[in-house]
């Protein structure tokens, strides 16, 4: 919500929210989005789209904040009693949202042993964007990215991948290969897709610099424009 405010977006919330999968690093801000937008005068339920299990997560989240919600409604804040709620849509592959010229299509990706993980393609009258979500290389992403203007894709550094000195650290290379996409692999993928712009995000650096990550992309064969995504960047 702080980033939305910094980007000068409405802090009473977006029209809809799309969740790729239920890993904690992708959902820890979920309660903040729902409750803060309500406190900042969201007046209707928020539409939430994501994998199966999202409804249970949402129900448990509301249960954990039940005292907070009660005080805000019954106390002097006088929050709107119905506005904090959300409508959860547990999705399947295909078009999941189509409104005011914006169409969003979900496609399955391969993220380790997660039973459901999605990427999203966003089509507007002027542009198209694919957001990979967390995934290792997969055909579904390539197929969903045909003629896309911008590909926003996760990445890790192949050059610095090595076992780590921590409990379970010996499995780190296997984890990255089964759950994520290396810079070299991403270069190979982008070479096929040919986006006008490749934005690297969800970066697992392990010591890699921006320049080394881009080098990995070039090694994979992609020669187009590639940038390291940072919060509040505009393209």
Residue 13 has pLDDT above 90, yes or no: no
Which CATH architecture best describes the domain 94-228? 4-Layer Sandwich (3.60)
Mean local confidence (pLDDT), 32-42? 96
- The chain-wide mean pLDDT, for the chain, equals 97
The whole-angstrom separation of Cα 90 and Cα 70 is 27
pLDDT, position 145: 98
Percent of the chain at pLDDT above 70?
A: 100
Note the pLDDT tens digit of each residue in 195-227.
999 999 999 999 999 999 999 999 999 999 999
The whole-angstrom separation of Cα 231 and Cα 39 is 24
Note the pLDDT tens digit of each residue in 67-120.
999 999 999 999 999 999 999 999 999 999 999 999 999 999 999 999 999 999
Residue 235 has pLDDT above 90, yes or no: no
Mean local confidence (pLDDT), 33-57? 97
Is 25 a known active-site residue? yes
54 falls in which pLDDT band (50, 70, 90)? very high
Residue-wise DSSP of 71-92: HHHHSTT---TTTT-EEEEE--
The whole-angstrom separation of Cα 137 and Cα 191 is 13
Pairing between β-strand 128-131 and β-strand 118-123 as defined by DSSP bridges: antiparallel
Mean local confidence (pLDDT), 5-31? 95
pLDDT, position 146: 93
SS3 of residue 60 by DSSP: helix
Read off the pTM.
Answer: 0.95
C-alpha distances in angstroms, 200 versus 37, 132, 142, 207?
28, 10, 16, 16
Mean local confidence (pLDDT), 16-27? 97
Which among 99, 79, 96 has a CA at the least distance from the CA of 37? 79
Which among 195, 161, 199, 155 has a CA at the least distance from the CA of 179? 155
Q: Is 206 left (phi over 0), alpha (psi -120 to 50) or beta?
A: left
SS3 of residue 104 by DSSP: strand
Note the pLDDT tens digit of each residue in 180-194.
999 999 999 999 999
Give me the residue spans of the domains in the chain: 2-90, 94-228
Active-site residue, selected from the candidate residues 25, 63, 126, 231: 25
pLDDT, position 33: 97
Percent of the chain at pLDDT above 90?
A: 99
């Amino acid at each position: 919500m702080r980033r939305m405010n910094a980007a000068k977006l409405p802090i009473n919330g977006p029209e809809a929210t799309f969740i790729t999968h239920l890993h904690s690093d992708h959902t820890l801000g979920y309660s903040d989005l729902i409750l803060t937008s309500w406190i900042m005068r969201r007046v209707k339920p928020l539409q939430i789209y994501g994998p199966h299990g999202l409804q249970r997560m949402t129900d448990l989240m509301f249960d954990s904040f039940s005292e907070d919600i009660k005080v805000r409604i019954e106390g002097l804040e006088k929050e709107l009693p119905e506005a904090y709620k959300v409508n959860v849509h547990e999705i399947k592959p295909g078009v999941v949202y189509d409104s005011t010229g914006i169409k969003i299509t979900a496609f399955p990706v391969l993220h380790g042993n997660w039973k459901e993980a999605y990427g999203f393609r966003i089509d507007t009258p002027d542009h198209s964007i694919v957001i990979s979500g967390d995934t290792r290389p997969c055909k579904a992403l390539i197929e969903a990215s045909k003629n896309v203007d911008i590909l926003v894709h996760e990445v890790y550094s192949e050059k610095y991948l090595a076992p780590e000195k921590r409990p379970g650290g010996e499995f780190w290379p296997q984890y990255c290969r089964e759950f994520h996409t290396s810079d070299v692999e991403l270069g190979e993928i982008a070479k096929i897709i040919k986006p006008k712009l490749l934005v690297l995000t969800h970066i697992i650096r392990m010591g890699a610099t921006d320049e080394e990550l881009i080098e990995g992309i070039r090694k994979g064969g992609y020669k187009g424009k590639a940038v390291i995504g940072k919060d509040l960047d505009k393209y």
